[in-house]
Structure 1
Amino acid sequence: MLKRALPLALAATFVLLAHGAHAATTTTFLILNESNKQMGEQVVERQDDGRTTVRFTYKNNGRGPELTEQFRLGPDLLMTEYQVKGNSTFGAVVDERFTRQGNLAEWTTTSDQGRATVDAPASYVPLNSSFEVVSNAITALAASRDGKIALLPTGTLSQTKLETAEVTNAKGEKQTVQLLALTGIGLSPSFYWATTGDKPRLFAVVIPGFLSMLEQGWQDAIPDLARRQKAAEAQMLTDVAAKLQHPLDGLTVVRNARIFDSDKATVGQPSDIYLLRGRITAVMPAGSPTRAANNVVDAGGRIVLPGLFDMHGHVDRWSGALNISTGVTSVRDMGNDNAQLQAMLDETAAGKLLAPQVVPTGFLEGESPYSANGGFLVKDLEGAKNAIDWYAQRGYPQLKIYNSFPKDILKDTVAYAHSRGMRVSGHVPAGLRAQQALDAGYDEIQHINQVMLNFFVKPDTETRNLNRFVLPAEKVADLDLNSKPVKDFLAQLAKKQISIDPTLSAFAFLKQRDGDVNEPYADFADYMPPDVKRSFSVGTMKIPADKEKRYEKSYARMVDFVGVMYRAGVPIVAGTDDVPGFTLHSELALLVKAGLTPAQALQVATRNGARYTRTSNDRGSIVAGKLADLVLVDGDPTTDIRDVRKVSAVITRGFIIYPNQIDAALGIKSFVETPPPVVQQSALAASSGQAVGGGGNDGALQRIEGSARKHD
C-alpha cells in the first residue's frame, strides 16, 4: 500500500473553522482514522498582525508529512505572501515560497520556479500545503461573481454546493454546514464541508473509509457527514457512468480484429469477435457472414487485447475512469476499507459506477505504532481466523498480510487462509526476511523493495518506517546478482512458483530528484492537466546529494532483478500502486526494460493477471465463453510497448467506452483522438434476419450516437 499514505495535497485539507475577528486565536483540529484513533493534528494560529501560521503533522504506516506554513491575505481574500517548510510523506524536503505584489506573482519551490502577471484575483496552488489554502479559496469563491477563480500557475477553480447538514458539538452547540465539490485541481472533484454565510470556511474533510478531520469537539458529526457525502458522490458518479458507458444491447460483432493470443504471446490473423450480454460467444475468421447483429464495431485491423489487469490497486470511486480509459478492465485491490470496497463492488455490478471489475484482497495487519489503516487489525490467531472467515465468506480469493502482523502467528494464519481456499501474499512482517515468509507459506510477495530486503535485514531491523525504502536504495547497488544467496533465493521462488508483484513504477521515486519528471510519468506527463503535470516533478524522498548516483544504481539493479527472476521461471504480475491505469503502461515498459519482450510484458498483464487472481475461467484471453473484456489499440504494442497507451475503445460489462470521452471530462489530452466507429444494423435487416457480409455493406448500417467524437 505504497500510496495509501495521505497525499500532501490531501493531507493538508484540514483547516481552520474561523470564529470572527479575534486578535490572536489558536484552533486545533484532530485527524482521526475510522476507529477514531488520532493520527495527527493541525494547529492554526492567527496573529494580530494579520499573519497566519499553520502547523500540520500526520503519521500513518510509519510515515507522513510535517509542515509549517505562514501566509497573509490580500483584500481579495487570497494569499499575497506564502511560505511552507518541512518534510513530505516520504521525507523529501519541502521549501516553497509565493509572493504577489500588485500584478506580479512569483513562486519558488524545490522543483520549479515561475512568475506571472495577473490582473484579477488568483489563487496560488502550492505543491505541498495544509488545506488552509483551500479554506481561503472557498471563501474567495463564495465572494466571486461567477463562482470561479483563476489558479496559479494555471487553471480555474470552481465549486458546487451539493448538500447541507446541521451538526452539533460536544457542548450541544449547533451550526449548519455545506458540502462543496471543488473542481479544477487534480483528476477528480475534491469534497469539503464548509461553514455557511457570507464568508464560508472549511469545516471538515471526510474521506469515507480512511480518515476525517474536524475541529476538536465536533467529532460526533463524522458519521452523518460521511453518510451524506457518500450519497452525494454516488449520485455524481451514477451520472458520469450513464454518460460515458454506452450499452451494447443485443448481439455485437467486433469486425476485422487482430487478436493478441495471451497464451502464445503472438498476434493472430484478422478475426471477428461476437459478443452478447457481456460475454464472447464466438471468434471467427474476418469476413464470416454476420447474421442480424445489432451492433458492429469496425476494429479496422487494430490489435485487440484481452482486458488488462492491474494487480496492485487501492480502488476508490473516482479511479475507475482512469483505469477503464487505459484498458484496465480488472484490478486486484490490495487493501481497502472493507465497507467501502463492498459498496463499490455493489455499485459496479449495478452499472452505477464507471469502474473495472475488482478482485478483492483481504487486508490483515497487526497492532503497533506503525499500523496501517484499513482491513482488520488483529492481536492473536483467533482474531486472524475471524478476519479470514469474514473475507472467505464474501468470496475474497486472496489475503494480504502487512508490516506489523504478529510474526509468531504468521505460519498458522497462512495455513488457515489456505484451508479456506485463499492465496496469501503481502509485505514481509517486521523482523523477518522474505525467505522466512516463504517458509511460512506465502504464495506471493508485494513490492520489489520487500524482495530485496531479504538480503539486508536482520531480526532487529525496523522495516515499518522509511527504512524499508532507504535500506534498498542504499544497499542494492552493491548486490551481486550472481552470488550464491541470490541464486539460492531465486531457486526457491521458482521451485515454489512464488509470484512477485514488483510495482517497479511505484518505486522509481527512489531515484527521483526535485525538478525531474519521475520516469514512469514521463511518457504521459504532457497529456495531463497542467497542475497534475507539475506535481510529477516533485521529489518524493530525501536523497542525500552524495548518494544520488547510488540510489539511481540501486533502482536500476532492482529493475534488472525483475528480469533475472522472470528468466529464472519466477512468475511476475503487473501492478501499479500509483496513478491508476497510466502507470500500468509504465510498469509494462519497465518490464521490457528488465529484459522481457513487449509481447511477454503484455502476457504478464493479461494471462498472468487472470492466472494469479484465479479468474482464468473468464478472463485473460479472447476465447468463446469468457467475459467480453476487449481493448482496441492503435499501433502495435507487441513490437513497441509504448503503443499500449493508444487505447481507442474499451468493451467491458456489456458497454463500449471511449477513452477520448473520459479524457475530455478529466482535462486529459487523448492518445487517440478518433476511435473506431460503432454502427447499428438497420431495423429492416435486424428484423428480417438477413446476413450482413463481414467485409462491408455499409448501406445496411447507420452510425449511432456513441461515435465518441461528440464528447457528450
Structure 2
Amino acid sequence: MKLVKTILASSLFALSSTSAYADTQTTRYLIFVENGKQAGEQVVQKDDNGLTKVRFIFKDNGRGPELNEEFRVGADGLINQYKVTGNSTFGAVINETYQRQGDLAEWKSTSEKGSKTVKGSALYIPLNSSFAIGALSIAAIENSADKRLPLLPSGTLTQSKIGEIEVVNGDKKQTVQLLAQSGIGLSPQFVWATTGKDPQMFAVVIPGYMKVIAEGWQANGEALANFQKVAEGKVLVDWAKKLQHPLSGLTVIRNARIFDSEKAKLGTASDVYVLRGRITAILPAGSPVRGAEAEIDAAGRILLPGLFDMHGHVGRWDGGLNIAAGVTSVRDMGNDNAQMQLILNEVNKGDLLGPQIVPAGFLEGESPYSANNGFVIKNLEQAKYAIDWYAQHGYPQLKIYNSFPKEILKDTVAYAHQRGLRVSGHIPVGLRAFEALDAGYDEIQHINQVMLNFLATPKTDTRTLDRFIIPANKTVDLDFNSKPVKDFIARLKAKQIAIDPTLATFSFLRQQDGTMNEPFVTIADHMPPDVRRGFSVGTMKIDDEAMHQRYEKSYTKMVEFVGRLYKAGVPIVAGTDEIAGFTLHSELAFLVKAGLTPAQALQVATRNGAIYTRTQQERGSITVGKLADLVLVDGDPTKNIEDVRKVAAVISRGYLMYPSEIHQNMGIKPFVENKPELKVLQPASASNAIGTNEAAMQRFFGTARRD
C-alpha cells in the first residue's frame, strides 16, 4: 500500500518524445509494472496556442489515480497556469489550481490555499499530478546559472548527472542520461533524460516496481533499470560507509536500563558487552571492565531490543528511516523477487544501510485486479512452484493476496505448511476470514480484512476499493458483543492466529482532506516542508460531514477491536505498510489507544516480532548469545510510548548508528540532539590482564586460577 499511496502524490517527472497530428502534438507514454504488465498511460497533447492537456491513468492492485491536467508555461518554460481534476488512488476528489501573474503566485486545492511573492523562476509542485509537471524542471535546472531551481510552495531542486546509455527503437538510436534530483522527498529522485542543450524527459524507472517510458522505446526498459540499480547502489554504498560506524573488538554499553521484553518491564541498570554483533555478557552497572576496546556511556538511558516492523515493503532507500527509528528487523510482506534478493545481498554485505529483513513470499492470482509482484499464478501447479522457490530461498512465510483463486487455497496452504512456511495474507475474493482459517491460515494482515469477516458477503468484490469503503462505512454498526464476533475472537485465540492490524496505516480511512493524518502529527515539524505538506492530503472520498463522522466512528471501533483481541489472548504484531520507521512508532501509539500499556506495546514490537518471524533464538530480547540488536532511547517509553521516537543510538549487524546523523542526511530535524559517543579504550593486553592480581581474578570469575 505504501508505494501506491505515495508514488503519485507529487510526481516529479514526465516524458517528452512527440509526434505531430494536425495542430496538436501528441505524446503517449506507457506505464508498466515490474512483471511487464501495462498498468497505465500518460497522454500529453500540446496545441498551437500553448495549452498542454494531460490524461493520466495508473491502476495496480485494483486501485490508482485518474487525472486530467491543463497547463501553460511562461518564457522560462515553467508553468504559470495549471489545473488538475480527477480522483486519487483511493477515490478522493482532486481539484487543484495554480497561477502566476507577475511576481504573485497563488494556488488552491481541496486541502490548502496559499500565495507567495516570487522573484525569478520557480516551479510549483502540485499535491497530485502526472509526471508531466516535474519534467519541466530538467531543462530549467540545466539552463540556470547556478544549476538550482526554486520550488513552490518552498524548497530548492538540484540535479546531477549519473551516467549515460544508448537506447534503440528499430533503426533509431539515441543517448540518454540518468539524472539524480534532490530537494523533494526524503531520498534522491532518478530520471532519464535526453542529452543536448535542452534535455527532455525520456523515462522514469522505479526498480522493482514500475517503468514509465515513451511508446516505441519500451524494449529498453530493462536495460535502463539495470543501469539505474547499479548507479543507485553506488550512492547507497556511500551512505552506508558514512553512517554505519563499525564496532571493532569488544564494546561495553555502560549504565543502561534494560527493557525485559519477556516480562514487559524495566530491569536494573546494567553493562552490556557486544562482540562481533552478539551480546557476550550482561553485568550489573559499574562492574569492573575487563578487556573492552571501546565503550558507550548510556548514562541511564533505556536499552530496548531492536524493534520489528512486521509489515514492510522494503525499498533500498528506506533503510535509514528504519534504523533511525530503532527498527532493526523488518518482515517484508511483498516485493519483486529479484529486487528482494538484491536488497538481502546488499544488507548482508553491509553495503546497504538498513535493518535485517525477514522476507514473506508474495503469491497472487491472475485477474484484472492483480497486484503484480512476487508470483502471479493460475493453478495449483504454479502455486507449488512458487512455494518451492520461496522455500529454497529461505523465506519462512507466505503471503496470499486478494485475487488468489479460492478453489485451490486449502491445498496451497497445506503445501506451504509441508514446505515449512507459515501462511498469512489478505482474504481471497469470495471468501471471508473464517474460511481462510478453515483453509489453514496462521495470520491475517490488516484490520479491514478482519472487519470484512462480518461485513462482506460471498459476492463482495474485495479486490476493489470496497475493501476499504465497506469497513469505513459499516464497522460503526457492528456489535462487538454479538455471538458471531465473540465466536470469531474465541477461534482466533484457540488457534493462536496472529493479527497484523496496521492501524496507523488505516487511519487514512477517516482523514478529511486538509487535516493532518493523526499518525504524522507528532513528526510533522521534523520533516522537510514538502513531506509535511503531503500529510494533510486526504485520500478517501468523503462526501460530507455525516460521512466523515461515520468513518471516524468506524475507525475508532477498529482500534477498540484490536484491544479486544489482545485482551482475549489473540497474538498481535506491529506492522506499518506506510512510511518506514516513523509509522511503527505511530502503530505502537495506536496499540496503547487500543488499551495496551506502553510496555505491552513495546513487547509486541520486540518479543512478538521475533516469535512470528521465527527468529526468537537470535532476536527479540536482550540476552547473552543473541544478536546485539540494541536501541538506546531517551525518556521512558514504558511510561510514555511517544518517547520511543527519541532514539539516541542503534546497534545492529556489528555497527553503531546515530539517528541524528541519518536524519540530517535526509533533511529531517533530529529527535535527539545529544548522542552517546563511542569512546575508544586502551585496555591492558590479555596476557597482562590475567595473572596480575589473583584476588581480582577470583572476584571477577568466581573461581581461583588453577595451573
Bin the TM-score by the shorter chain. Answer: over 0.9
In structure 1, the residue matched to 2:195 is 196
Structure 1, 72-81 or 382-391: larger mean CA deviation:
72-81
In structure 2, the residue matched to 1:575 is 575
Residue 616 (structure 1) aligned with residue 619 (structure 2): no
Counterpart amino acid of 1:103? D
Using the alignment, how far apart are the partners of 2:403 and 2:636 within structure 1? 44
- 5+ residue gaps, structure 2: 693-707
Residue 422 (structure 1) aligned with residue 402 (structure 2): no
Aligned structure 1 segments of 4 or more residues deviating by more than 3 angstroms: 1-6, 9-14, 18-23, 683-692
Count of aligned pairs between the two proteins = 691
| Aligned residues of 2:29 and 2:214 also touching (Cα < 8 A) | yes
Using the alignment, how far apart are the partners of 2:326 and 2:534 within structure 1? 24
Using the alignment, how far apart are the partners of 1:138 and 1:422 within structure 2? 47
* Superposition deviation, residue 687 in structure 1: 9.0
* Superposition deviation, residue 15 in structure 1: 2.6
In structure 2, the residue matched to 1:179 is 178
* Superposition deviation, residue 21 in structure 1: 12
| Aligned residues of 1:292 and 1:690 also touching (Cα < 8 A) | no
Query: 1:398-417 alignment to 2 at 5 Å?
Result: 398-417=397-416
SS in 2 for 1:614: coil
* Superposition deviation, residue 7 in structure 1: 2.2
Residue 642 (structure 1) aligned with residue 642 (structure 2): yes
| Aligned residues of 1:292 and 1:691 also touching (Cα < 8 A) | no
In structure 1, the residue matched to 2:474 is 475
Offset from partner CA, 1:512-532 (integer Å, 9 cap, x none): 001110011111111100000
| Aligned residues of 1:18 and 1:201 also touching (Cα < 8 A) | no
Counterpart amino acid of 2:284? P
| Aligned residues of 1:289 and 1:691 also touching (Cα < 8 A) | no
Using the alignment, how far apart are the partners of 2:339 and 2:318 within structure 1? 14
The 3 A distance-change label for structure 1 pair 691 and 680 is farther
In structure 2, the residue matched to 1:700 is none
Residue 589 (structure 1) aligned with residue 580 (structure 2): no
Using the alignment, how far apart are the partners of 2:432 and 2:10 within structure 1? 34
Residue 117 (structure 1) aligned with residue 125 (structure 2): no
* Superposition deviation, residue 10 in structure 1: 6.5
In structure 2, the residue matched to 1:709 is none
Using the alignment, how far apart are the partners of 1:615 and 1:642 within structure 2? 27
SS in 1 for 2:135: helix
Query: 1:598-617 alignment to 2 at 5 Å?
Result: 598-617=598-617
Using the alignment, how far apart are the partners of 1:512 and 1:5 within structure 2? 14
Counterpart amino acid of 1:148? R
Counterpart amino acid of 1:178? Q
* Superposition deviation, residue 290 in structure 1: 1.0
In structure 1, the residue matched to 2:144 is 144
In structure 2, the residue matched to 1:682 is 682
TM-score (norm. length: structure 2): 0.96
Using the alignment, how far apart are the partners of 1:685 and 1:132 within structure 2? 65
Counterpart amino acid of 1:401? I
Counterpart amino acid of 2:461? E
SS in 2 for 1:288: coil
In structure 2, the residue matched to 1:566 is 566
SS in 1 for 2:572: coil
Residue 56 (structure 1) aligned with residue 56 (structure 2): yes
Using the alignment, how far apart are the partners of 1:138 and 1:358 within structure 2? 36
SS in 2 for 1:656: strand
* Superposition deviation, residue 22 in structure 1: 9.2
Counterpart amino acid of 1:33? V
The 3 A distance-change label for structure 1 pair 112 and 491 is same
| Aligned residues of 2:10 and 2:125 also touching (Cα < 8 A) | no
Offset from partner CA, 1:513-559 (integer Å, 9 cap, x none): 01110011111111100000000000011012031100000000000
In structure 2, the residue matched to 1:697 is none
Using the alignment, how far apart are the partners of 1:686 and 1:263 within structure 2? 35
In structure 2, the residue matched to 1:311 is 310
In structure 1, the residue matched to 2:217 is 218
In structure 1, the residue matched to 2:552 is 552
Using the alignment, how far apart are the partners of 1:22 and 1:293 within structure 2? 78
The 3 A distance-change label for structure 1 pair 566 and 639 is same
Using the alignment, how far apart are the partners of 1:109 and 1:520 within structure 2? 22
In structure 2, the residue matched to 1:703 is none
In structure 1, the residue matched to 2:535 is 536
| Aligned residues of 1:7 and 1:89 also touching (Cα < 8 A) | no
| Aligned residues of 2:360 and 2:396 also touching (Cα < 8 A) | yes
Using the alignment, how far apart are the partners of 1:462 and 1:84 within structure 2? 30
| Aligned residues of 2:32 and 2:211 also touching (Cα < 8 A) | yes
* Superposition deviation, residue 211 in structure 1: 1.5
Counterpart amino acid of 1:256? N
| Aligned residues of 1:5 and 1:63 also touching (Cα < 8 A) | no
SS in 1 for 2:560: helix
Using the alignment, how far apart are the partners of 2:35 and 2:116 within structure 1? 45
Using the alignment, how far apart are the partners of 2:456 and 2:515 within structure 1? 31
* Superposition deviation, residue 16 in structure 1: 2.5
- 5+ residue gaps, structure 1: 693-712
In structure 1, the residue matched to 2:514 is 515
* Superposition deviation, residue 690 in structure 1: 8.5
Using the alignment, how far apart are the partners of 2:459 and 2:135 within structure 1? 44
| Aligned residues of 2:325 and 2:659 also touching (Cα < 8 A) | yes
Residue 99 (structure 1) aligned with residue 99 (structure 2): yes
| Aligned residues of 2:325 and 2:647 also touching (Cα < 8 A) | yes
* Superposition deviation, residue 2 in structure 1: 5.6
Counterpart amino acid of 2:658? Y
In structure 1, the residue matched to 2:237 is 238
Counterpart amino acid of 2:680? Q
In structure 2, the residue matched to 1:324 is 323
In structure 2, the residue matched to 1:285 is 284
In structure 2, the residue matched to 1:662 is 662
| Aligned residues of 1:397 and 1:421 also touching (Cα < 8 A) | yes
In structure 2, the residue matched to 1:295 is 294
In structure 1, the residue matched to 2:396 is 397
CA RMSD of aligned residues (A): 1.6
In structure 2, the residue matched to 1:86 is 86
Query: 1:369-388 alignment to 2 at 5 Å?
Result: 369-388=368-387
| Aligned residues of 1:157 and 1:185 also touching (Cα < 8 A) | yes
